[in-house]
Structure 1
Amino acid sequence: MKFTGTIWRPPYEASSLLLEVTAGCTHHKCKFCTLYNDLPFKFKMSPMEDIECDLQEVANTMKQWDGFQFDRAFLTGANPFVLKAERLLAIADLIRKYVPTVQTIGCFARVTDITLKPDSELSALAQAGYDGLTIGMETGDDEALHFMNKGYTSADIVEQCSRLDKVGISYNFFYLVSISGASRGEIGAKATAAVCNQLHPQLIGANMLTIYPDSELYQEIQRGNWQEESEVEKYREIRVLIENLEIPTQFAALGASNAFQLHGSLPKDKNALTATIDKIIETVGEEKLRDYRMNLRHL
């Protein structure tokens, strides 16, 4: 199978069939992001011939695996949902042709990818099995969204994800802890909860901002234009987010950026999650948490 550069997927897509349909990011302007810096281009689509060839390889390999089957596919790339609905539907047809056990198809998506598609196309994609999109909302803090060059506002998040709710495409949010900067974490957490409380994400996944020297954000820090939260502040920020979420959803902090893994159902596990965070702050402390961050060579 053909894969280009480092392949990223959410932790909960570990058992999914990974299929490259795009590489890179159409936006590629977020100041904190270095995930696709290893690519010699900004964005490209895989030829349909390559996608079909990869699926043929999967089908042939599965014949040799006694009883193994995939029930979900995850399309790789920073935002495959940007593809035109016609192409996404054609990809779904190919998946059903070669791996008919696949029931749902997920991928990363930008908020702006949803904007490009009318409700009729979103409905068609839902019927074709597109579900469980992972959206890097990052925050509901408009000041931070603007500074980081995300290319959308908190109002856009609410408007576009409400459209997904309407057509029945479920989605997960990635929340980037510390994106609002030092002394503004709790502001960002409360703004994010206010956005999420208007929507129906099936999971909110927290990732800790980790700043690498090849990021534009690193240069902003060197120029004195932005300051990162302390590690303890980051955990306090997560705590405020959890406290202010009023919707039933899953909350998780599972990626490598998190020194400690958290997962629970809200509102049922709210007290247990906040108690765990309090214990981390009290017993681990800034020095050990910062040591983890500084030695995290790659996400």
Structure 2
Amino acid sequence: MHYTGTIWRPPYEASSLLLEVTAGCTHHKCKFCTLYNDLPFKFRMSPLEDIEADLQEAAHTVKLWKNFSFERTFLTGANPFVLKFDRLMKIADLVHKYIPSSRTIGCFARVTDVTLKTDEELKALHNAGYDGLTIGIETGDDEALKFMNKGYRADDIVTQCKRLDLAGIHYSFFYLTSISGAGRGEIGAKATAEICNQLHPTEVGANMLTIYPDSELYQEIQRGTWKEESELEKYKEVRALIEHLNIPTAFGALGASNAFQLMGILPRDKKKLLDTLDKIIENVSEEELQYYRRNLKHL
């Protein structure tokens, strides 16, 4: 298989076939992000020949293992959904040719990737199997989105995800706890809940901001232009997000950036999640949480 650099996937894609179709990120300007700093280029598309060879290899593996099959394919890279419609359709054709058991195709996507497709193209992509996109919206706080160079506004999230809803393409959100900075966490959480409550994400996943020295955000902190929340503030922020979510969706805080793992279905498990967070806030010290953050070598 052709894999370049560190391969990132959401926790819920653990059983998916990981197929590299891009490497790197077309945007690569978010101040907090260091995920693709190990690559010697910003963004690269995989040749179709490499994609087909990888699918052939995966098909051979399936044949070797009786009673095993891939029901889903996850395209790797920061935002493969940026690829043009025709190329995404060619990739779908190859997936269905070699892995007929794969019913759906998912990937990471930026909000801006959706704008590149017409409504008709989105519907055709859904019919070709594209479903279950993971979108790192990060926040619904416009001030934070602008400062972090995300390249879109909160109303863009609503506009483009409503288009996905109309096309039948499901999606999950990643929320970045602490992106709004010290003193603004709960403001950002409430703004994000307001955005989510207008949409239909299948899951809202919270990851806690972990700042590494090679990030642009680290330099902002050194200059005194931005200040990170305390660890306990981050948990209060997550609590505010859950409290203000009023839609049926899954909620998860499962990545390594979270010292405590959380998972539940809203609204059914809202009280249980809030009670758990209250216990963390009341019984875990800032020092203990800071120790976890300092020793988190990699996300």
Question: TM-score range, shorter-chain basis?
Answer: over 0.9
Aligned to 1:223: 223
**Superposition deviation, residue 66 in structure 1:** 1.5
Between Structure 1 and Structure 2, how many residues are aligned? 299
Query: Take 1:109 and 1:210, find their aligned partners in 2: how far apart are those partners?
Result: 21
Write the distance in 1 (CA, Å) between the matches of 2:10 and 2:208.
14
Deviation readout 1:83-108 (Å, 9 max, x if unpaired): 00110111011000001000000000
CA distance in structure 2 between the aligned counterparts of 1:34 and 1:9, rounded to whole angstroms: 15
Structure 1 position 70 matched with structure 2 position 70: yes
Moved over 3 A (4+): none
- Structure-1 residue corresponding to 2:18: 18
- The separation in 1 between residues aligned to 2:61 and 2:271, in whole angstroms, is 46
Alpha-carbon separation, structure 1, partners of 2:234 and 2:154: 21
AA of the residue aligned to 1:60: H
Which amino acid is the alignment partner of residue 30 of structure 1?
A: C
Amino acid at match of 2:253: A
Distance in 2, matches of 1:26 and 1:162, equals: 23
Q: Quick one: distance in 1 between partners of 2:86 and 2:123?
A: 13
2:114 aligns to what?
Answer: 114
Residue 164 of structure 1 is matched in structure 2 by 164
CA offset digits 1:5-59 (Å, max 9, x no partner):
0000000000000000000000000000000000000000000000000000111
* Helix, strand or coil at the partner of 2:126: helix
Partners in 2 of 1:226 and 1:39 — Cα distance? 27
What TM-score do you get using the length of structure 1 for normalisation? Answer: 1.00
Task: Show the counterpart of 1:144.
Answer: 144
CA distance in 1, matches of 2:58, 2:14: 16
Query: How far apart are 1:218 and its partner, in Å?
Result: 0.1
Post-superposition CA distance 1:95-138 (Å, at most 9, x none): 00001000000000000000010001000000001000000000
1:266: which partner in 2?
266
How do 1:258-297 residues align onto structure 2 when only pairs under 5 Å count?
Answer: 258-297=258-297
1:175-214 matches, cutoff 5 A:
175-214=175-214
Shift of 1:140: 0.1
Q: Which stretch of the first structure deviates more once superposed, 237-246 or 279-288?
A: 279-288
Equivalent positions of 1:116-135 (< 5 A) are 116-135=116-135
Matches of 1:200 and 1:139, distance apart in 2? 16
Letter in 1 for 2:220: E
RMSD value over aligned CA atoms? Answer: 0.4
1:208 partner amino acid: M
Q: What is the distance in 2 between the residues matched to 1:287 and 1:279?
A: 16
Partners of 1:168 and 1:66 lie apart in 2 by 33
Structure 1 counterpart SS, 2:64:
coil
Q: Secondary structure at the match of 1:53?
A: helix
1:292: how far off? Answer: 0.3
Q: Distance in 2 between matches of 1:272 and 1:285?
A: 21
SS at match of 1:263: strand
Distance 1:2 1:121 in 2: 28
Q: Which residue of the partner structure matches residue 257 of structure 1?
A: 257
What is the Cα deviation at residue 263 of structure 1? 0.4
* SS at 2:136 equivalent: strand
CA distance in 2, matches of 1:43, 1:240: 36
Unaligned segments of structure 2, at least 5 residues: none
Write the deviation string for residues 116-163 of structure 1: whole angstroms up to 9, x where unpaired: 100010000000010000000000000000000000000000000000
Letter in structure 1 aligned against 2:171: Y
- Write the deviation string for residues 216-266 of structure 1: whole angstroms up to 9, x where unpaired: 000000000000000000000000000101100000000000001000010
Instruction: Tell me, in whole angstroms, the C-alpha distance in 2 between the residues paired with 1:184 and 1:78.
Output: 27
Deviation at 1:282, TM superposition (A): 1.4
- Cα distance between partner residues in 2 of 1:174 and 1:51: 27
**What residue is the counterpart of 2:82 in the other structure?**
82
User: Given residue 99 of structure 1, which amino acid in structure 2 is its aligned partner?
Assistant: I
